[in-house]
Structure 1
Amino acid sequence: MSVSALGTILGIWAHPDDEVYLSAGLMATARDAGQRVVCVTATLGEHGTGDPVRWPPARLAAVRAHELRASLAVLGVTEHHVLGLPDGGCAEQGEAVVDRLAAIVDQVRPDTIVTFGPDGFTGHADHQAVSRWATAARKRAAPNARLLHPVLTYEFLARWQDVYDRIDVFLADGLPHAVPAAALSLTVPFGDALADRKLVALRAQATQTSGLVTLLGEQTMRDWCATEGFVDAGPVSDRVWASWRPAAGRLPGYAAWDHQC
């Protein structure tokens, strides 16, 4: 399957930078082909810092909103919705959020919805809540839309184990979930130009990424992020997350890149 087969794409994410880490290449490739891409962000990540004195919530939220617009502009994405929900508090939100998302889905009429799998990819409780909401909104407003979840492969994890040894990314026991490369529904083809573009989009969200770029080095950061793979919700996805249960890890919380301000 190619990106061009996805038609109009709606990405539904929890915090600024989720969309760029997990789907920047997908979005840029689709936009370059003339496809419509719409992004929804649940929160502005106002608590995404290890230094709340320097970055009080209101200030960080405002800065991250600017960063996100700049990052999406690099990818050619101009349609964006912010739900304005409390960072770290998505799991406590009620059915009204699904109503709001369903209204957006009905307005956009996507052919494809992209969001976290049930584990939230990193295990973040906000990510898991967004996955549930997006699944429910799709069922209500666009049941025929394709639903894609980003996922890692065993091959990717083996190649980048040294990076994962250096950073604290996954927030619950048993993560990450992974599949063989052959099980992916979609792999985004990355050349040098797309890898560079994704790095620029990542660097635009500097409050979250500058420390990680410094830690890993720009070339390693670029190459590590130049892979995106997705599985369809359905039989393969169900097998990936069949044993998933919210673990007694550090939920809710932030991955290492959220503390690199």
Structure 2
Amino acid sequence: MTESVTVVAELGTVLGIWAHPDDEAYLSGGLMALARDGGSRVVCVTATRGELGTPDPEAWPPPRLAAERTRELARCLALLGVSEHRWLGYRDGECPDAPASEAVAALCEVIDEVAPDTVVTFGPDGITGHPDHRTVSAWVTAAFDRAAARGARLLYAAAPERRVPRWQDLDERLGVYLPGYPVAVPDEQLAVDLVLDPDTAARKVRALAAQTTQTAGLIATMGIDCYTAWVGEESFVEHRRSAPVAQRPVAAVTRG
């Protein structure tokens, strides 16, 4: 626990950028809670409202689900202590078709405003392989390389090698990953590797449970103890800038 608190405190102001409501909690809920408990600023950005995230579109047509997931995310973030949130306004499933230059410019503006010490998002693999996840990773990486201050860090959520065998059968039954995923990362390559203490893990589960349309069935199927263990670790690798920070023209970050 002490190590986790120390590691998270060193991250400073945290900006998380994700594709759908619940991505942020699954991949960084513990990190966000620990950061807020330590007095750090945490800002969350979500690209879409997840309006396609249901196996029952008749009961949950996109406008209804989008509205419900908006409310669920607000409750989730409140439980984690996060009060600053931004929507990018893209449609679920359509991020790969959106103009990348527009999305990157919008994220540059957020980075300019928040001035994060650490940005967290998906790696290029998108964790699950979801096209929206992979696209958001590309947007964030481009915006970070263009706009983040020297010394800022970009952390990609990762699946450590040690965890993949333990959960492989369950993940396959649940259909968590697209074929060929997850991409396992050797533990020694991890830049931040959090094993959540029981209180933080329980708080993360409460936050995820607030996103009822996405998690109620899983929690009922798995049982609370198994679900808590399943979400109880958060790991990240670090992106290295391919080029030094350069001064940008204002037009590059201003949306028309």
Q: Which residue of 2 aligns with 1:148?
A: 155
Deviations 1:108-143 (A, max 9, x none): 000110000011110001011100110111122115
Identity across matched positions, percent: 53
The alpha-carbon deviation at position 160 of structure 1 amounts to 2.1
Q: 1:6 aligns with which of 8, 11, 19?
A: 11
Task: Specify the alignment match of 1:239 in structure 2.
Answer: none
Question: Which residue is equivalent to 2:68?
Answer: 63
Aligned to 2:249: none
Shift of 1:199: 0.5
The separation in 1 between residues aligned to 2:185 and 2:142, in whole angstroms, is: 25
1:33 aligns with 2:38: yes
Shift of residue 152 of structure 1? Answer: 1.2
Other structure's SS at 1:6 match:
coil
Q: Name the aligned partner's letter for residue 169 of structure 1.
A: V
State how far apart, in whole Å, the 2-side matches of 1:146 and 1:57 are.
Answer: 35
For this pair of structures, how many residues does the alignment match?
234
> Is the Cα–Cα contact under 8 Å of residues 115 and 149 in structure 2 kept in the other structure?
no
Distance in 2 (alpha carbons) for counterparts of 1:216 and 1:189:
20
1:163 corresponds to which of 152, 162, 170: 170
Find out whether 1:231 has 2:237 as its counterpart. Answer: yes
Q: TM-score, normalised on structure 2? A: 0.88
TM-superposition CA deviations, 1:157-189 (whole Å, max 9, x none): 122233224211112x32111122232111124
Pairing of 1:99-138 with structure 2 (within 5 A): 99-138=105-144
Partner secondary structure for residue 120 of structure 1: coil
Q: Which amino acid aligns with 2:137?
A: S
Aligned equivalent of 2:58: 53
Match of 1:195 in 2: 201
- Post-superposition CA distance 1:2-29 (Å, at most 9, x none): 1111110000000000000000011001
Identify unmatched segments of 5+ residues in structure 1: 236-261
User: What is residue 245 of structure 1 aligned with on the other side?
Assistant: none
CA RMSD of aligned residues (A): 1.3
What's the CA shift string for 1:219-248, capped at 9, x where partnerless? 10011100111110139xxxxxxxxxxxxx
In 2, Cα distance between the equivalents of 1:31 and 1:189? 17
Q: Secondary structure at the match of 1:2?
A: helix
Residue 100 of structure 1 and its aligned partner are, at CA, apart by 0.9
Using the alignment, how far apart are the partners of 1:122 and 1:158 within structure 2?
16
Residues 76-95 of structure 1 mapped to structure 2, 5 A cutoff: 76-94=81-99, 95=101
The residue identity in structure 2 corresponding to 1:178 is A
Q: Calculate the TM-score normalised by the size of structure 1.
A: 0.87
Runs (5+) with no aligned partner, structure 2: 1-5, 242-256
